[in-house]
Structure 1
């Protein structure tokens, strides 16, 4: 038995980072990049390392390059924690599991450390192969919360539900994480939107490494917990922007959302310290008339553009900054 499952990168279109603070967001899937987990039956349970898990290097320079690209933690911890939480979920819910063992291996071409949800993609793909291997069905609304618990509770990685929701639903999704729904249902309220309602959108990400999202989320979390007025107010404003963009898309006014995306970024810039490289990407995109904001917590941006001529101008401005620019594939070919 050979099982292979993918989970794709994502872009937070608007509303982030309010998803971790009872806010609202809209995200879309980016099928150009994915994590894939392969499972096959084996005599013992084994998790095989990927290149980002290596601990043997030919030189100190190679070790440094590896750490800069992948950080100090690879995917092994994600798979271990994912398998553990899956087992505990089945035990807690009285789901029978057969006793056969398996080997897991993974690969990912999602650019690391640029806020495109590479870690949650690995865990989501892991749960998908485990669900098929054990014949377990889990409500699609619940899976994102289970995947988030792997990162939050097992590994201490601060994050919100947004990434895991879009990686399970795919396409384009409006997400409402209001406190009442989360506490009563254990998940947010998710509405799938028509991808055709989007105007032309682009993704751009630095090929130089940026800081991990944990740095920004830890800072915001502490300020939120302390009740810092600017941060609490910003969460409401980001949620409002997501609601307004959702209404525009549903009303067939997708071409008007660009200024709201800009407002999303401008608000973040007012309350957070941002690296100059990230600001330069956004300002470079805006110079040619495109809108721009972070896809996540820095390292990649998303925005709208008018036509192919503007897209080529985007590339001309951003590529000299070591930035990759692409038109994301949202729907399956």
Structure 2
């Protein structure tokens, strides 16, 4: 892509992984969520001048050449975006690319912050990805964000209501993920159809999940950590009732059970592949979690929360 006007010769942006803390997956069902971006994983896109449109894969993370068929099979089984850990890797790539293009064409001020998540999701839908807006909002905004996707807001504004929150409201959290994670892209399918068909159990359960995010906003602002832990556990329990164990996957359920086995609160970060854990009892409980994960063969690490990535220009656009 040739340089445009006085645009820099090389533009690079990162988009960070996200953790759905509360309310997911109700974002796909006119619900509410609370999500935040993390620095443990990210996707980066670099835009360079070129006479032709060339998509250059990363030499390590986007292999297109393999030593053997076994190498290919092992790669597909063990890795993907962020190791396939259910942390919104596909949307992070699109988000980072969008930011590059906004800067290259110098149109950032013309594209409302609130509609950028919809642009990202529309690109993913062309690839057959079934998802809600939560991940894209978290990656566009960065930091900790409360999101209201009520149909009234969507119909009136064309987007949800997205409210940034102070990341210092979050207690220390941990991430668990498996070396051979499930595919988060297929988890929504059955439940979404049942919701569209008017299944009252699914509809009422999704409303309960959405209320968890509303209650969670109150718990976070009041620093009520015991309530936060209860809400995280309730969120997962409702998801399990709706989707069933076969859809969630034994390995995903085992990660949650491992955390709960030491008394910690736990739920999926998204649709499976990784779990967010809150050890409300402190460092001794964290040590128990680490030992339990080591025994079970899971990876566990402290979550690094990323602050808001919005520019001053973006903030001005939101306030206006």
- Give the TM bin, normalised by the shorter chain: 0.7 to 0.9
Which position in structure 2 is the counterpart of 1:167?
Answer: 139
Q: TM-score, normalised by structure 1?
A: 0.84
Q: Distance in 1 between matches of 2:162 and 2:240?
A: 28
Following the alignment from structure 1 to structure 2, what is the Cα–Cα distance between the partners of residues 198 and 272? 28
Contact 1:175/1:191 (CA < 8 Å) preserved in 2? Answer: yes
Residue of structure 2 aligned with 1:310, choices 261, 277, 285: 285
- Distance apart, 1:214 and its partner CA: 2.4
Partner of 1:67: 76
- The answer for the alignment partner of 1:123 in structure 2 is 94
Aligned to 2:249: 275
Moved more, 266-275 or 166-175: 266-275
- Is 1:20 the counterpart of 2:24? The answer is no
- Give the C-alpha shift of residue 193 in structure 1: 1.1
Check 1:53–1:330 CA distance in 2 against 1; reply closer, same or farther (3 A cut). Answer: closer
User: 50-59 or 180-189, which moves further after superposition?
Assistant: 50-59
Structure 1 ranges of 4+ moved more than 6 A: none
> In the alignment, what sits opposite 1:325?
300
Contact 1:8 1:33 in 2 (8 A): yes
1:295-321 Cα deviation digits (max 9, x unpaired): 011111112112111111111101222
> How do 1:41-80 and structure 2 match up within 5 A?
41-50=49-58, 51=60, 53-70=62-79
- Give the secondary structure class of the aligned counterpart of 1:298: coil
Residue of structure 1 equivalent to 2:219: 248
CA distance in 2, matches of 1:213, 1:33: 16
Q: How does 1:1-333 map to 2 (within 5 A)?
A: 1-50=9-58, 51=60, 53-70=62-79, 111-137=82-108, 138-152=111-125, 154-210=126-182, 212-273=183-244, 274-306=248-280, 307-331=282-306
Question: Unaligned 5+ residue runs, structure 1?
Answer: 72-109
Deviation, 1:287, is 1.5
CA contact (8 A) 1:197 1:254 kept: no
Q: Kindly state the Cα deviation for residue 225 of structure 1 after the two structures are TM-superposed.
A: 1.4
Give yes or no for contact 1:209–1:299 (8 Å, CA) kept in 2. yes
Instruction: Note the C-alpha offset of 1:262.
Output: 0.3
Unaligned runs of 5+ in 2: 1-8, 308-320
**Total equivalences in the alignment:** 293
- State how far apart, in whole Å, the 2-side matches of 1:299 and 1:213 are: 7
1:127-177 superposed Cα distances (whole Å, 9 cap, x missing partner): 01111111111221111111011112x222101000000101111011000
2:144, 2:193 → 1: CA distance?
30
- Is the contact between residue 9 and residue 33 of structure 1 (CA under 8 Å) also seen in structure 2? yes
Cα distance between partner residues in 1 of 2:52 and 2:250: 49
Q: CA RMSD in A?
A: 1.7
